[in-house]
Chains A and B, each alone.
Chain A
Amino acid sequence: MADATMTGRNALANPRATLQDLLPKIVLAPSFAVILIFVYGFIAFTAVLSFSGSKLLPDFSTWVGFSNYVRLFNHPNWIVALKNLAIFSILYIVICSVIGLALAIFLDQKIRGEGMLRPIYLYPMALSFIVTGVAWKWFLDPGIGLEHVMQSIGWESFSFRWIKDGKMAIYTIVIAAVWQSSGFVMAMFLAGLRGVDNEIIKAAQIDGASTFVIYRRIIIPLMRPVFLSAFVVLAHLAIKSYDLVVAMTDGGPGTATWTPALFMQKFTFGRNEMGMGAASAIIMMMMIFAIIVPYLYSELGGKKK
């Protein structure tokens, strides 16, 4: 039987086979090359930038060593930003996953009207944050939003002023962000649920296991890959969240809702401190890689199909 994966040795005897052998790599090459330049090249560019004294535009003539990083970690806004990132990411990822999973399991119970409910859960993802940020800002504003509405229908003592409160404002952003993405997570989990082999479920049912136990012991563990993918998608959205924060609070009240993405944008483009902005970007990338690379390794390294 001929070796189905043509190797270089076979190819020498047959020029056409050489082309066929190289073709996959040739096809892949442009994408890979482009990513090397436009992603990794630019990350390297940013790293070099972070050691320079760039202000308005990249300026490699001034070398400042680690001073941007020192300034970074001494800056109160950055510390607030890191704290907010931790609070926001953890809440956002956990709540989205829980809601997504719960809704997916519910929808999986042969619900009438599933076809209508699914787009309702999914549609928020389609709206730009520029749009939804304003809507949520309205909704959460005590003067015109929820608090005002509740009070005007008679519930005088109702109070919901989180967005105006330095300590609670970050949680309002969680509310809006969860609204935006949890439907998408639900879709991922629903697909995962439906991908579980029916035979296994049937076998468990014959054995007398209740629905609850089937979910807990069999289905959910089989969905490990889905959990990890949902985590990756959510983590990426959590770290990059800039438009929503700007639209809702612009970092306020005071500096209470600064996030690393906000820090990077404001310092690079608003404060004419490109060196600092680059340093914050590198720290952000390091944090991202620290989470994603182990995931990738566990998924791709090791097990061979």
Chain B
Amino acid sequence: MLRKLLIGTMLGSALTAGYAASTYAAGGSVEVLHWWTSGGEAAALDVLKKKLESQGVTWKDMPVAGGGGEAAMTALRARVTAGDPPTAVQALGFDITDWAKQGVVGDLGEVADKEGWDKVVPTALQNFAKHDGKWIAAPVNVHSTNWVWISKKALDAAGGKVPENWDELVAVLDKMKANGITPLAHGGQAWQDATIFDAVVLSLGTDFYKASMIDNDPAALGGEKMVEAFDRMAKLKSYVDKDFSGRDWNLASAMVIEGKAGMQMMGDWAKGEFLKAGQKPGSDFVCIRFPGTQGAVTFNSDMFMMFKVGDDKKAAQLTMASDIESPDFQSSFNVVKGSVPARTDVPDTAFDDCGKKGIKDLAEANSSGKLFGSMAHGYAVPAAVKNAMYDVITRHFNGELDSKAAAAALVEAVAAAKG
């Protein structure tokens, strides 16, 4: 409770300090559909709400939790079909593109042009936040998924050296196993299996990742390298404990925090769990890129997709978009969430060491062309294909398919989902 109060005050003062002189509305309301219903994120969103209220815009909250947004997307369909869409909706990746194709999204051009979003938002994100050259969504953050979070104590007991390639990773995991802890903390849910898969594929080459996950070239999807990727997944499976199935991701983080497990392969929202438990990056836990993926980043970005609304709501909508992209909000929100800002010109002073590394990695990947959308989180392929891949990955991880069969199944599943 106290924590939330502290965070809230911090954010609040940061925002009011950086209050932009220009506003787009004095009055009006925004109805926001999202699934951030607890913890630090809800508190962070609350600050956005208060900022809007200070600008005279009422925040109408429409939270629908569950399934990483599935319940919210169901409700959204009903709302749009009924002709009553919310003003702003939290959404990810290709879902945004799919909605844009329906022609029901709004245009944030007025704000985007005025504030120069084109120059500061990474191109890879713009591919999703813009449609037909028009800005339709305001990116809130950039998460990255190819991280590994290692308990410092466990790492030291396993030799103390951070693994930088696959062989070193296996060596560390073996040592942790010998030391008697669970080497890899994992939750057996399809999306978690897929998150690790993302990193494993990326570690076999950025070109390979692009060819298989983004371009869906059947040769890449079913070839030798993919079989090797599945082999690596099977090897990683040998390091998880017997209760991994169905475990929530934050409980896996807790295993690492409490020293019961050595490491977790998860996106940077996991950092929040470590920080909340009072751990410090560098001294209690270590954040590294999945060995073999240094220099590349697979990303996932929460965006608020803006729908076409009447003129009375338009001004408030633009105000909200402007607030979301303001450097101060970007800094304060992302410090809490564990992600990095969606604009590259935000100073990294408020971020902890892992956050600073994240910002640096993002800039580097952005300029070297190694910034890719994460397949596991909807930024590489549309939902149908993504879920088809999920099916194969999770079946393989649970032992229903061997690596060769999995690669073949992957080709088939993707083809079927595209047809």
Contact = CB atoms under 8 A, between A and B. Distances in A.
User: In the complex they form, do A and B come into direct contact, defined as C-beta atoms under 8 angstroms apart?
Assistant: yes
Contact of B400 (A166, A246, A265, A269): A166
A303 B141 CA distance: 68
18 contacts: A74-B416, A75-B416, A76-B395, A163-B245, A163-B246, A164-B244, A165-B245, A249-B246, A250-B189, A250-B246, A252-B189, A255-B394, A255-B395, A266-B70, A270-B70, A270-B387, A272-B383, A273-B384
A272 B416 contact: no
Interface string A161-194: 1011110000000000000000000000000000
B140 to A, nearest CB: 22
Interface string B211-255: 000000000000000000000000000000011111000000000
Interface of B: 67, 70, 73-74, 77, 80-81, 95, 98-99, 101-102, 188-190, 242-246, 382-384, 387, 391, 394-395, 397-400, 416-417, 419
A254 B243 contact: no
Given A249-B246, A254-B394, A255-B395, A57 B81 contact: yes
B77 A57 contact: yes
Given A254-B397, A269-B74, 15 more contacts: A56-B99, A67-B419, A71-B416, A71-B419, A142-B243, A161-B243, A163-B245, A164-B188, A252-B188, A252-B190, A253-B188, A253-B398, A265-B74, A272-B95, A272-B98
A251 B400 CA distance: 15
B246 A271 contact: no
Contacts of B95: 272
A118 interface: no
A252 B81 contact: no
Contacts of B397: 254
A270 B73 contact: yes
Contacts of A294: none
A269 B73 contact: yes
B246 A253 contact: yes
Nearest to B388: A271
Contact of A252 (B73, B245, B417): B245
Given A252-B189, A253-B246, A271 B387 contact: yes
A251 B246 CA distance: 10
A164 B246 contact: yes
A266 B386 CA distance: 13
Nearest to B385: A271
Contacts of A251: 190
A264 B211 CA distance: 31
A193 B101 CA distance: 60
A57 B102 contact: yes
A166 B395 CA distance: 10
B98 A56 contact: yes
Contacts of A273: 383-384, 417
Interface in A57-90: 57, 67, 71, 74-77
A254 B396 CA distance: 8
Interface in A247-264: 249-256
A143 B261 CA distance: 15
B84 to A, nearest CB: 15
B95, B245, B382, B384 — most chain A CB neighbours (10 Å): B245
Contacts of A137: 246
A161 B73 CA distance: 33
A273 B387 CA distance: 11
Nearest to B94: A272
A254 B400 contact: yes
A192 B329 CA distance: 65
B67 A270 contact: yes
Contacts of A164: 188, 242-246
A76 B70 contact: no
Contacts of A67: 419
B406 to A, nearest CB: 12
Given A166-B398, A254-B395, A270-B67, A55 B384 contact: yes
Contact of A143 (B67, B189, B243, B391): B243
List the 7 closest A-B pairs by CB distance, nearest first.
A254-B398, A164-B245, A253-B245, A269-B74, A272-B383, A271-B387, A56-B98
Given A56-B98, A253-B188, A272-B384, A77 B246 contact: no
Contacts of B391: 76-77, 255
Most chain B Cβ neighbours within 10 Å, of A57, A143, A161, A272: A272
Nearest to A143: B243
A81 B81 CA distance: 29
Nearest to B69: A270
B295 to A, nearest CB: 33
A257 B23 CA distance: 51
A253 B394 CA distance: 8
Nearest to B104: A57
A67 B418 CA distance: 12
A255 B397 CA distance: 11
Nearest to B386: A271
Contacts of A75: 416
A143 to B, nearest CB: 5
Contacts of A270: 67, 70, 73, 383, 387
A274 to B, nearest CB: 9
Contacts of B189: 250, 252
B385 to A, nearest CB: 9
Q: Which of A142, A143, A250, A270 counts the most B-chain CB atoms under 10 A from its CB? A: A270
B102 A269 contact: no
A43 B398 CA distance: 37
A61 B130 CA distance: 26
A184 B5 CA distance: 47
